[in-house]
Amino acid sequence: MTEQKPGPCSIIKSFDIIGSKWRLVVLNDLQGSEKRFNELKRSTEASSRTLSRVLKELVSEGLVEKRVEKESPIATYYSLTQKGRELFPVFEEVDNWAEKWLET
């Protein structure tokens, strides 16, 4: 019997990593360019506590990188790794679906 769709194993593994609303929101928000913590806070509308936790999780999963700028203005920047950037087609498809099915 051939299986057309992905088996539950790889899908469950993927959704352990990206199957949470705030992780998805942050990953989507970083698709454009690197951002500072406060920029992300503003654009995602996540609380500081949630955003800190989610960024830490995404860094530990290898999807996001943290860069500390020591020159003035001192700041911490977050950006996607290659593994995170390659989720872009997933977001494009979610957006296509949302445009058709959700009232905005």
Contact residues for a copy of itself, defined by CB under 8 A: 4-6, 8-25, 28-29, 31-32, 43-45, 83, 86-87, 89-102, 104
Strand order in the sheet with 64-69: 35-36, 75-80, 64-69
Considering beta carbons, is residue 33 or 72 the nearer one to a copy of itself?
33
What's the min distance (Å) between Cβ of 75 and a copy of itself?
21
Give the helix/strand (H/E) hosting 35.
Answer: strand 35-36
Specify the DSSP class assigned to residue 41. Answer: H
What's the min distance (Å) between Cβ of 68 and a copy of itself?
26
Considering beta carbons, is residue 9 or 68 the nearer one to a copy of itself?
9
CB 80 within 8 A of CB 91: no
What's the min distance (Å) between Cβ of 71 and a copy of itself?
27
Considering beta carbons, is residue 23 or 64 the nearer one to a copy of itself?
23
CB 67 within 8 A of CB 34: yes
